[in-house]
Amino acid sequence: MPGESNKAMSSSGLWPPDRSLYVVTDCRWLEGRSLEDVVAAALRGGAGVIQYREKTASTRHMVETASKLCALCRRHGAVFLVNDRVDVALAADAHGVHLGQEDMPARAARRILGPGKILGVSIHDEEEILRAEEDGADYVSVSPVFATSTKPDHQSPLGVRGTCVLVRRSRLPVAVIGGIDETNLEPLVRCGVRGICVVSAVMAARDPEGASRRLCLGIREVLKTLPQS
């Protein structure tokens, strides 16, 4: 299976098993609920990776929140990542950080993080995959697969076909994000992605635990139909 050989490319060796449910936080969907409660529910439902994404809060608030979320993830055996902010990730003792193309260069982030932390990079084309591999990333996140209201200014959606082309080209584990829910994840799991990333599918759900559980069940049901290797 491609994921097994790709895992050896990871400098941290911490990336979780194939097809983990990966939930990215977005406080705009909380509607009066606490972020900790929603994340805890997602973890109970089976989420294997939580990425804390916050663009407006103070650094102090981010460190305090990230520390609480990291503790939650560790209790559930899940991976905790911080979006963009290497300093916050280190202060909270997160498992790692996820960077976009406009964030700190991955090579610089790797020097700061060292080899024992996970480094993920968002990509949209093959050139960005190659650069992420060279710069020490542990995984790449292909985005967006489908159009999504979470980030209305996103690049053109790649669709299933375009996403699967990039999955096959990458020597690193690949996560995918952008408009994914339980109705459209099947072809993505089939093409070998290592993480199904969602935002509103869990964060906006009235029952985030149930939403996570259904997504995880959907992933498992597809895996049952795939040839064993």
The residues that are catalytic are 53, 122, 151
Q: How many degrees, rounded to 5, is the angle at CA 29 between CA 52 and CA 219?
A: 70
Nearest to 168 by CA among 156, 176, 177: 176
Tell me the C-alpha distance between 229 and 174, whole Å. 19
Cβ-contact 40, 69 below 8 angstroms: no
Residue 197 CB partners (closer than 8 Å, separation 6+): 22, 23, 24, 51, 141, 143, 175, 176, 177, 180
Tell me the C-alpha distance between 22 and 212, whole Å. 10
Q: How many degrees, rounded to 5, is the angle at CA 4 between CA 93 and CA 216?
A: 65
Residue 23 amino acid letter = V
Residue identified by tokens 């997160």 is 94
Tell me the C-alpha distance between 19 and 24, whole Å. 15
Task: Compute the radius of gyration of the chain from its Cα atoms.
Answer: 16
